[in-house]
């Protein structure tokens, strides 16, 4: 069994993790802009009416989960448990996409 790290795979995992971390805040900002530009979103902002039923804890949990998984993938040793790093990046992107979808579902 070959236990030596494959540099190309390690670089790709690191690149996807960094890309997710860099795009996390813009994803949230753009999703909120899209929601607040609708009639329902502006009504919620101005009058507190017709607001989303998505709990804030779910949004914070997805944001924190994406951030934690991305940082974990970055600091995880490249030579050990390559599958765990890949899983952390998949979890990061899954949480980030779920966060965007939850924000947009409030429109």
Q: Burial code of 46-70, b = ≥16 C-beta within 10 A, e = fewer?
A: eeeeeebeeeeeebeebbebbbebb
User: Beta-carbon neighbour count of residue 85 at 10 Å?
Assistant: 23
37 DSSP 8-state letter: T
- Tens digit of each residue's pLDDT (9 = 90 or more) over 31-84: 999 998 999 888 888 988 888 888 889 999 999 999 999 999 999 888 778 889
In this predicted model, what pLDDT tens digit does every residue of 20-43 receive, in sequence order?
A: 999 999 999 999 999 989 998 888
- How do the domains of the chain map onto residue ranges? 21-105
Radius of gyration of the chain (CA): 17
Angle, in degrees to the nearest 10, between helices 39-47 and 7-36: 70
Q: Which pLDDT score, from 0 to 100, does residue 2 have?
A: 55
């Amino acid at each position: 069994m070959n236990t030596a790290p494959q540099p190309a795979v390690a670089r790709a995992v690191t690149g996807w993790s960094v890309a997710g971390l860099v795009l996390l805040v813009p994803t949230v900002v753009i999703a909120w802009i899209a929601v607040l530009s609708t009639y329902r979103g502006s009504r919620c902002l101005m009058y507190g009416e017709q607001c989303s039923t998505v709990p804030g804890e779910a949004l914070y949990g997805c944001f924190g989960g994406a951030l934690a998984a991305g940082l974990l993938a970055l600091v995880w040793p490249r030579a050990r448990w390559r599958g765990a790093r890949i899983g952390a990046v998949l979890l990061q992107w899954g949480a980030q996409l779920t966060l965007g979808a939850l924000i947009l579902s409030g429109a």
